[in-house]
Amino acid sequence: MTVGSDAPFDEPHDASPARTPKGMHDILWPESARWERLVARFAMLVQGAGYGLAVTPVLEHVGIFHRGIGEGSDVVGKEMYTFADRDGQVMALRPEGTAPIVRSFVQHHPVPPWKAWYVAPSFRHENPQHGRYRQHFQLGVEALGPSDADLDVEVVALAFEFIAGFGLQQVTLKVHSMGDGTCRPGYVELLRAYLAERRSQLCLPHQARYDQNPLRVLDCKTPECEDATEGAPRFVDNLCDPCTAHFARVRAGLDALDIPFTIDHRLVRGFDYYTRTTFEFASGAIDAAQNAIGGGGRYNGLVEMLGGPPTPGIGFGLGIERILIACDAEGVYPTEAPPLDAYVIDVTGGESAVLLTAELRRAGFRVDRGFDDRSMKSQMKSADRSGALVAVMVGAKELAEGTLSLRPLRNDEGQRSVPRADIVPELRALVRP
Ligand code: HAM
């Protein structure tokens, strides 16, 4: 089963060892071809803005997520895969990409500004549904060093440009500011007092624990909490002066770049590390519960939380599966495997195919061939199924005459014979006219 098809993701799970674990998927050809293209496009874009690839382990010590993301968050408290390894160390499968990248910054202390990008599997023990998996892949960037609001604009603009490149029409960008250590505590108190007066109107779980983290209530999707917070005090009205100025500059930068956005006063996101700017891209073409195709924000305290020197940071993570689901829903960015140029069919024992295939591949053609000395009919069937544009055939007659037969497989042009020595220009004329 591949992500992006209409596969029934909530089918009853068969725990047989010959199947992927629940909520995890194989990504196979030809679906994998558009993954490759997507990742290559992202790499081109962000490398063009000075970001270098960072590859970190899938496993980390659990502490970096406890300290960085927060034990009260759903991702750490309810969804993280943790286990004691054979040395008794408690490890976690990475649930997201930011804390590991920041851990690597603290460990290797590169000179800031330091700009990293990544493509990484992330693991969350969720209730799997279409668009919500136990293993998903994130493409992301993290930029460490500058506190400049113009970097926020750069980071948001990179994500915007990448998403816009798919031709998606129904994606919207929401931005918000969550303040910092100066103004956030005051705002949280204001919100707590507001919620205390409306406690009985909140959903049951939040009636019990709204005061542990009042910000979570803003994010709660139940109609009760949504109604109760309708007139809640807004973060943007309670920011300190530096946070207000920072947010104004971010908005002005996005306006200057013609990037459309709305301010979402409920956008508090699920991790404790965020400060100031947060943002999210949502697709109107997919299920509301899983409509976030990417999100990010500033985290000016995270490096210190993980033991490094005070260093601001900002980044985003985009869910590859969700981007592809949004593309399918809007009918853009179809799965297209690059076709083979040629399929070599040799019914004279196979030696000619060894040389011919190597020669054509060296000349830059995409080529496959038949094996096991099968019949002409059987190899021709394989050639057809391979999607190759041309069959290059060697039979007893061709071998004796020093020729090859070329048969175009995707149009009505007839078969013709060419001198063996001319195969490269002859094939080029057929497949790259
Ligand atoms: P996040 O919003 O938790 O942020 O995840 C980023 C994106 O990953 C989501 O918008 C969504 O597209 C995708 N995603 C998350 N969970 C799942 C899932 N269970 N199944 C499928 N897709 C999923 C972060 O992880 C932050 N580290 C982003 C960030 C980077 N903030 C600053 N820098």
273 and 391 share a domain? no
pLDDT of amino acid 12? 56
The pLDDT score that the predictor gives to residue 352 is 96
Find tokens 């993280």 and name the residue.
80
pLDDT at 6 over 50: no
Residue 23 lies in a domain: no
What pLDDT does 331 receive?
96
Residues 236-293 have pLDDT tens digits of: 999 999 999 999 999 999 999 999 999 999 999 889 899 999 999 999 999 888 899 9
In a domain, 276, yes or no: yes
Q: Which residue bears the tokens 């000179």?
A: 111
pLDDT confidence of 4, banded at 50, 70, 90?
Answer: very low
Q: Is the pLDDT of residue 113 over 80?
A: yes
**Are residues 229 and 218 in contact, defined by beta-carbon separation less than 8 angstroms?**
yes
Question: 324 and 347 in one domain?
Answer: no
Whether residues 102 and 49 fall in one domain: yes
Same structural domain, 162 and 271: yes
For residues 95 and 76, the answer to whether their CB atoms sit within 8 Å is yes
Report which of residues 2 and 191 the model is more confident about. Answer: 191
Determine if ligand 1 sits within 6 Å of the CB of residue 316: yes
In a domain, 7, yes or no: no
For residue 318, report the distance from its CA to the centre of ligand 1, in Å: 6
370 lines ligand 1 (CB under 6 A): no
pLDDT value at residue 71? 84
Asked, for residue 425, whether it belongs to a domain, the answer is yes
CA nearest ligand 1 atom 11, residue: 319
**Do both 53 and 161 map to the same domain?**
yes
- Separation between Cα atoms, residue 317 and residue 294, nearest integer Å: 6
16 has pLDDT over 50: yes
Q: Which helix (H) or strand (E) holds 381?
A: helix 376-386
Ligand 1 centroid–CA 98 distance in Å is: 10
* Cα–Cα nearest to 188, from 200, 179, 197, 175: 179
Tell how far the Cα of 73 is from the centroid of ligand 1, in angstroms.
Answer: 14
On whether residue 211 sits in a domain, the answer given is: no
- Distance, in Å, from the CA atom of 315 to the CA atom of 150, rounded to the nearest integer, reads 13
Mapping DSSP onto H, E and C, the string for 287-348 reads: CHHHCEEEEEEECCCHHHHCCCCCCCEEEEEEEHHHHHHHHHHHCCCCCCCCCCCEEEEECC
Nearest-atom number in ligand 1 for the CA of 318 is 7
The CB of 156 under 6 Å from ligand 1? The reply is: no
Ligand 1: centre distance to CA 392 (Å): 47
Residue 296 CA, ligand 1 centroid: distance in Å: 8
Residue 383 tokens read as 């050639």
Q: Is the CB of 128 under 6 A from ligand 1?
A: no
Distances (CA, A) of 245 to 149, 242, 248, 250, 258: 9, 5, 5, 9, 20
For residues 96 and 18, the model is more confident at 96
Q: How confident is the model at residue 128 (pLDDT cuts 50, 70, 90)?
A: very high
- Ligand 1, atom 26: closest residue by C-alpha: 317
Q: Provide the number of structural domains found in the chain.
A: 2
User: What is the Å distance from ligand 1's center to 138 Cα?
Assistant: 7
Residues 346, 325 share a domain = no
Kindly state if the Cβ of 103 falls inside 6 Å of ligand 1. no
Q: Are 285 and 414 in the same domain?
A: no
**How far away, in angstroms, is 14 Cα from ligand 1 center?**
27
In a domain, 53, yes or no: yes
Q: Domain holding 270: CATH number?
A: 3.30.930.10
Return the bridge partners of 171, or none: 283
Kindly indicate the confidence band of residue 14, based on its pLDDT and cuts at 50, 70 and 90.
low
Determine the pLDDT at residue 336.
Answer: 83
- Based on the fold, state whether residues 288 and 144 are members of the same structural domain: yes
Question: Which atom from ligand 1 is nearest to the alpha carbon of 124?
Answer: 19
Ligand 1 atom closest to the CA of 79, numbered from 1? 19
Q: Which of 102, 322, 323, 325 to mutate to test the pocket of ligand 1 (most atoms within 8 A of CB)?
A: 322
- pLDDT tens by residue, 22-57: 999 999 988 999 999 999 999 999 999 999 999 999
Percent of residues, the chain, with pLDDT higher than 70: 97
Domain membership flag for residue 315: yes
**Per-residue pLDDT at 1:** 37
pLDDT digits (tens, 9 = 90+) for 317-337: 999 999 999 999 999 999 887
CB-based contact 314:155 (threshold 8 Å): yes
Q: For ligand 1, atom 6, which residue shows the shortest CA distance? A: 317
Structural domain of 146: 31-169+263-330
Residue 88 domain-assigned (yes or no)? yes
Pick the residue whose CA is nearest to atom 30 on ligand 1. Answer: 316
Position in ligand 1 atom list of the atom nearest CA 281: 10
Going by alpha carbons, the residue nearest to atom 2 of ligand 1 is 295
Looking at 175-222, list the stretches that DSSP marks H as alpha helix, in order from N- to C-terminal side. 184-197, 204-209, 214-219
Q: How confident is the model at residue 13 (pLDDT cuts 50, 70, 90)?
A: low
Q: Tell whether 354 and 378 lie within a shared domain.
A: yes
Q: Which contiguous run of DSSP H or E holds residue 151?
A: helix 149-164
| Residue 184, pLDDT score | 95
Which of 229, 241, 262, 232 has its CA nearest to residue 180?
Answer: 241
Residues 286 and 425 in one domain: no
At 335 the pLDDT is 87
pLDDT tier, 5 (very low <50, low <70, confident <90, very high otherwise): very low
Is 271 in the same domain as 369? no
Q: Measured in angstroms, how far is the CA atom of residue 378 from the centroid of ligand 1?
A: 47
pLDDT at 11: 53
Q: How far is CA 185 from CA 15, 19, 229, 260, in A?
A: 47, 48, 18, 30
**CATH of residue 363:** 3.40.50.800
Boundary (domain end) residue, out of 330, 361, 385 = 330
Out of 330, 363, 381, a domain closes at 330
291-310 pLDDT tens trace: 999 999 999 999 999 999 99
Taking all residues of the chain, what is their mean pLDDT, rounded to a whole number?
A: 94
Nearest CA to ligand 1 atom 18: 132
Amino acid 3: pLDDT: 46
Question: Which is the closest atom of ligand 1 to the Cα of 269?
Answer: 2
Of the candidates 330, 358, 378, which is a domain's last residue?
330
* From 84-88, 271-275, 286-290, 396-400, the region with the lowest mean pLDDT: 286-290
Tokens 């108190």 — which residue?
189
Residues 325 and 353 in one domain: no
- Expressed in angstroms and rounded, the spacing between residue 137 Cα and the centre of ligand 1 is 9
